Structure 1
Amino acid sequence: MTERPQPRTAAELMRSRFEAFRDGDSEWLLHTWHPSTRPDVVELDDNPVWRALQIVDTVRGQEHDTAGIVEFRATYRSSDGVGVLHERSRFVREGGRWFYIDGIVKRD
C-alpha cells in the first residue's frame, strides 16, 4: 500500500481513492472501504488508465460531519476508447476516519 495521508473530508477521500485506482493500489481501496460494503478483493487487472477527476458536487462530508456525498466525473482510457465514470458516492466518518460506502452510477 502506498503511504497516503489520512483524508480529512469525504472529497479528499474521493481524490485519494481516484489516485489509488490510477496507481493500482488495491490495498488503499480496501483500507478506505467501509467494512459493511467492502469486497474481499479488489481486482485491478483490467483497470483502465484513469486520467482526470472532477468533483461535481459535495453534500456535507466536512471534517466534523459523520456522513457525506461526493458526486464526481472521472475520465479514463481503455481498449474501447475514452470514457467517463459519473457517480454519486456515499461516505461515512467513523473513529475519525472517512470510509467509502457505495455509489450510484449516473448515465450522462
Structure 2
Amino acid sequence: MSQRRAHAQLRSTTAASCPCGNAAPYRDCCGRLHRGEAAATTAETLMRSRFSAFSVGDSGYLLRTWHPTTRPQSVDLGGGLRWVRLEVLETTGGSAVHTEGTVRFRAHYLDRGTAGEMEENSRFVRHGGTWAYLGAL
C-alpha cells in the first residue's frame, strides 16, 4: 500500500468506529496502541490492534508487536486486499495475569472487490513485559 493511500485510509478511519470491531473511534481505540501511547493489556487486545494495523496499513506496528523469533523482515500490505471486519471466536489465557494466550478469530476482507475470510488460531506470549504475536497454531 502506498504511503499516500495509507494516510488517506487512516484519516477516514480516525473518526469512525475502530476496524477491530469496538464502537470507539479508531483514534481512541487501536490508534492509541499504534501511536505508542498505550500497550495491549491482553492477548485479545493485541490481536484486535494487529487486525486494525492490517486494516489501516501500519506495517511498523505489526513488526513491533511480532515476537522476534518469528518476525519476518518486512510485511507487504500492498495489493488489492482490504481487511474489513473481525470476529473474535474464542480466547484462552491471555489476560493481564497470564504469560501466554490464544485468540481464534475470523477476519473478513475484500480482494479487488471479492469478499473472503480467513480463520486463524493465533498464539501470543509475553516478551519483555508486553504481549507479542508468536504465530498461528
1:8-47 per-position Cα deviation (integer Å, ceiling 9, x unaligned) = 0000000000000000000000000000000011111126
2:121 is paired with a residue whose SS is: strand
1:7 is paired with a residue whose SS is: coil
Aligned residue runs from structure 1 range 55-70, under 5 A: 55-70=88-103
1:33 is paired with a residue whose SS is: coil
Q: CA deviation at 1:81?
A: 0.8
Runs of 4+ in structure 1 displaced over 3 angstroms?
none
Aligned residues: 104
Q: Where does residue 76 of structure 2 map in the other structure?
A: 43
Greater percentage in helix? 2
Tell whether the 8 Å contact from 1:21 to 1:47 is kept in structure 2 after alignment: no
Q: Where does residue 29 of structure 1 map in the other structure?
A: 62
Q: Where does residue 122 of structure 2 map in the other structure?
A: 89
Greater relative contact order (CA < 8 Å, ≥ 6 in sequence) = 1
- Distance, in Å, in 1 between the alignment partners of 2:80 and 2:40 is 23
Provide closer, same or farther for how the CA distance between residues 81 and 41 of structure 1 changes in structure 2, counting only shifts above 3 A: same
1:61-82 per-position Cα deviation (integer Å, ceiling 9, x unaligned) = 0011000000000101012610
CA RMSD of aligned residues (A): 1.6
Q: Which runs of 5+ in 1 are unaligned?
A: none
Larger Rg: 2
Q: What TM-score results when the alignment is normalised by the length of structure 2?
A: 0.72
Q: Where does residue 16 of structure 1 map in the other structure?
A: 49
1:42 is paired with a residue whose SS is: coil
The AA in structure 1 aligned to 2:35 is E
2:133 is paired with a residue whose SS is: strand
Q: CA deviation at 1:95?
A: 2.3
The AA in structure 2 aligned to 1:89 is S
The AA in structure 2 aligned to 1:48 is L
Q: CA deviation at 1:49?
A: 1.0
Tell whether the 8 Å contact from 2:101 to 2:125 is kept in structure 1 after alignment: yes
Greater percentage in strand? 1
Q: Which runs of 5+ in 2 are unaligned?
A: 1-33
